[in-house]
Structure 1
Amino acid sequence: MDFELWWLLGIPVFFALGWIAARVDIHQLVSESRSLPRNYFKGLNFLLNEQHDKAIDAFIEVVKLDPESADMHFALGNLFRRRGETERAIRVHQNLLARPDLPLEQQGHAAYELGMDYLKAGLLDRAEETFNSLVDTQYAAQARRALLEIYQREKEWPRAIEAAVGLQESGAGARQKEIAQFYCELAHDALVHMKPDEAMPLLEKALQTDRKSVRATILTGDVLLARGDVEGALTTWRRVEQQSVPHVALVAQRLMDGYTKVGRAQEGVNLLRSYLEEASSIDLIEVVFKAVIELDGVEAAKQLVSAELRRTPTLLGLDKLLEARMMDAPAAIWSELSMVKNLVHGYTQKLARYQCSHCGFKARQFYWHCPGCNKWETYPPRRTEELNVMN
């Protein structure tokens, strides 16, 4: 009973202490808010309303009243950079770094923001130098990511590999896909310069890094072909099906050319037709269509396209069917078919694009590295209309 009475007597005391603490916090909050310049709140309001120009003007006034405020300088510099005024952003962050009283932590912050200014302005050498100075600081991960972006822009693939490996080892996320692509870039350059022997070990490293790298497999086949090993190239390109069935469309022409070269064109057609059963694709149909015309004639080609159109109804498929129909159409209806074909073909040109799944950038050719958002392997190996039909 005494224990319960003690608790009952203590409740009002605890309540009073809580009330006093709350009053102290409220008074402190009010006092601090009154000490802030009015333009500070105006700037925040403009920011919330996406009125960046007015926000900058308001924050400039705050900085004039309190030139020692580092936080306001950071906010102002970032606003300048977002608006594209990189020269002003650079000056703001340079002035911050020049202050002898700036704490060590804020020095790193200012250096990082300055590096981002240089990067936005395209001053890659200065940006690289700035970020390299931060790799042993608390901004190491951000600096390495920025350096990785710089090396990719400059196509310095060995340094990009080094930066990506460093990020991965530091626990900043898996980078196998990008690293494999960097090795593929080096291998592709070697192939372009007719150096297949230099390309092969690079592709081996790419596949060791990412065994699912379709591009590395395709390029390995290209290297074998460059060495004169057609059978080896065919065997390698067929492995693409095991990695990603939709990507077989990217090697369809290579396979058909290879089988034709070794005198087994019909075997090549049969293989590609089996791929069509697994993953219909307008690019794959295009290759098979031409091969069937040469080997089996126009009628067989028409049957092929007609069957695929029924299975996957697209305007791109209709365009191909009209092309087949026109090959042996009677003169009386040829002109009408030609008119319809031209109309359909004109419209399909807008649909025959690849589209980045990350940023939506559309392109007539397939990219491993999106020109819009600079992401790797974001293009599905299908045209936009095919993707819409599938969805």
Structure 2
Amino acid sequence: MEFEIWWLLGIPLFFTLGWIAARVDIRQLLSESRSLPRGYFKGLNFLLNDQPDKAIDAFIDIVRLDPEAVDLHFALGNLFRRRGETERAIRVHQNLLARPDLPQEQKTQAMFELGQDYLKAGLLDRAEETFNQLAATGQYEAQARRALLEIYQREKEWARAIDAANALQACGAGGRQKEIAQFYCEIAQDELVHTHPDAALVMLDKALSADRNNVRATILTGDVHQANGDTEKAVLTWRRVEQQSVPHVALVAQRLMDGYRKLERPNEGLNLLKNYLAEAPSIDLLEVVFKATLELDTVQAANQLVSNELRRTPTLLGLDKLLDARLMEAPPELRPELSMVKSLVHGYAQKLARYQCSHCGFKARQFYWHCPGCSRWETYPPRRTEELNVMN
């Protein structure tokens, strides 16, 4: 009975305490909000209405009246950077760093923001120096190392990019093995350009150690063997692409066909590519098989090949190939009309003959391992956009 009385008395007591706490919080909030300048709310309102220019003007007015408003300096600097006014952003963050009374935590934040300003302005040397200092402090380490990785990629300093990616992995920012493999491929490609095939092979072995499914490393390894005159080894290497990714076989189809010709076994090469085509339809692969069929077989066989592929994967690009084949065996009186249709289809087909980045949507005529639009690696499927739309 005594417990029930206390429990009943406790209900209004808890409500009373809750009401008092809420009143104190509300009064404190109102007190703090009254102490803020009116321009602060104007600036926030402009930001919410997506009017950054007016927000900047409002914040500038506040900073003039209250130079100690550190948070507003940060907000102002970030707004300048977003608007592309990097010089003004740099000045704001440099002024913050120059303040002797600024707490260490905010100094570190100002240094990070300054590094971002330098990076946006393209002042890569200054950005690199700033982010290296930050990484050494252990604060903002992952963000700093990520920025350093971006800088080294922009400057094409692939060896330093590898070190930065390894350091980024070590600080727990996720795996970077695919990127590291691509950096080794970039170094190998440079070695190939300067006719250093042995050095290129060393780099490609490292690329495959980092990512054994790296198709580019396999293709380049075959290229090195071909450059060394070992066509048999080159062909065997290019054939390994099928084990890594069947759709990427289209990227080595012409290499394989040329290799088998050099080995004087073109029919073997053609049969291999036909098997690949049956397994993974591809316009690029069809192009190589079509030309090889014309060379080694008959026009009728090439015609039938394209007709079968068009039924399986109906695309304008495939129709363009079919019209090529039909023109070759068409009677003279029908060729002008067929040629006109072919010209129209070809024009539209070429607009669809693009590779497209799966991340940013950037389209290109050629295949890229590194997207020119978003700078991401391995975001291009090895099929043209029209094929992907049909398959989806």
User: In which range does the TM-score fall when normalised by the shorter chain?
Assistant: over 0.9
- What aligned pairs does 1:128-139 form with structure 2 within 5 A after superposition? 128-137=128-137, 138-139=139-140
TM-score relative to the length of structure 2: 0.98
Structure-1 separation of matches of 2:129 and 2:372:
25
Shift of 1:292: 0.6
Shift of 1:307: 0.7
Structure-1 separation of matches of 2:131 and 2:266:
55
Structure-2 separation of matches of 1:43 and 1:350:
46
Q: Which residue of 2 aligns with 1:248?
A: 249
Gaps of 5+ in 2: none
Letter in structure 2 aligned against 1:42: K
Structure-2 separation of matches of 1:174 and 1:49:
39
Mapped pair 1:269 → 2:270: yes
SS in 2 for 1:102: coil
SS in 2 for 1:136: helix
- What aligned pairs does 1:145-156 form with structure 2 within 5 A after superposition? 145-156=146-157
- What aligned pairs does 1:204-353 form with structure 2 within 5 A after superposition? 204-353=205-354
Q: Which residue of 1 aligns with 2:112?
A: 112
Q: Which residue of 2 aligns with 1:16?
A: 16
Structure-2 separation of matches of 1:48 and 1:173:
34
Q: Deviations along 1:130-176, whole A, 9 cap, x unmatched?
A: 11110123111111000000000000000000000111111101101
Q: Which residue of 2 aligns with 1:69?
A: 69
SS in 1 for 2:59: helix
Letter in structure 2 aligned against 1:234: V
Structure-2 separation of matches of 1:305 and 1:296:
14
Q: Which residue of 2 aligns with 1:97?
A: 97
Shift of 1:274: 0.4
Letter in structure 2 aligned against 1:213: N
Shift of 1:14: 2.3
Shift of 1:235: 1.1
Shift of 1:327: 1.6
Shift of 1:304: 0.7
Structure-2 separation of matches of 1:100 and 1:166:
32
Shift of 1:226: 1.4
Q: Deviations along 1:307-340, whole A, 9 cap, x unmatched?
A: 1011100000000111111122211011111111
Letter in structure 1 aligned against 2:245: S
Letter in structure 2 aligned against 1:152: Q
Shift of 1:297: 2.1
Letter in structure 2 aligned against 1:145: R
Q: Which residue of 2 aligns with 1:388?
A: 389
Q: Deviations along 1:13-42, whole A, 9 cap, x unmatched?
A: 222222111111000001111111111111
Structure-1 separation of matches of 2:211 and 2:196:
23
Q: Deviations along 1:250-302, whole A, 9 cap, x unmatched?
A: 00001001111101100100000001111110000010111111100211111
Structure-2 separation of matches of 1:89 and 1:38:
23
Shifted more, 169-178 versus 320-329: the winner is 320-329
Q: Which residue of 2 aligns with 1:187?
A: 188
Mapped pair 1:53 → 2:53: yes
Structure-2 separation of matches of 1:203 and 1:151:
20
Structure-1 separation of matches of 2:113 and 2:10:
53
Shift of 1:209: 0.6
Letter in structure 1 aligned against 2:96: L
Structure-2 separation of matches of 1:371 and 1:222:
24
TM-score relative to the length of structure 1: 0.99
Structure-2 separation of matches of 1:245 and 1:266:
21
Q: Deviations along 1:46-90, whole A, 9 cap, x unmatched?
A: 111111111111111111121111110010000000000011101
Structure-2 separation of matches of 1:49 and 1:327:
63
Q: Which residue of 2 aligns with 1:122?
A: 122
Letter in structure 1 aligned against 2:221: T
SS in 2 for 1:118: helix
Q: Which residue of 1 aligns with 2:26?
A: 26
Shift of 1:9: 2.2
Aligned length: 391
* Percentage of matched positions with identical amino acids: 79
Shift of 1:12: 2.3
Shift of 1:95: 0.6
Structure-2 separation of matches of 1:340 and 1:14:
84
Shift of 1:236: 1.1
Q: Which residue of 1 aligns with 2:179?
A: 178
Q: Deviations along 1:169-195, whole A, 9 cap, x unmatched?
A: 111011011000000000111111111
Shift of 1:242: 0.9
Gaps of 5+ in 1: none
Shift of 1:10: 2.5
Shift of 1:205: 0.7
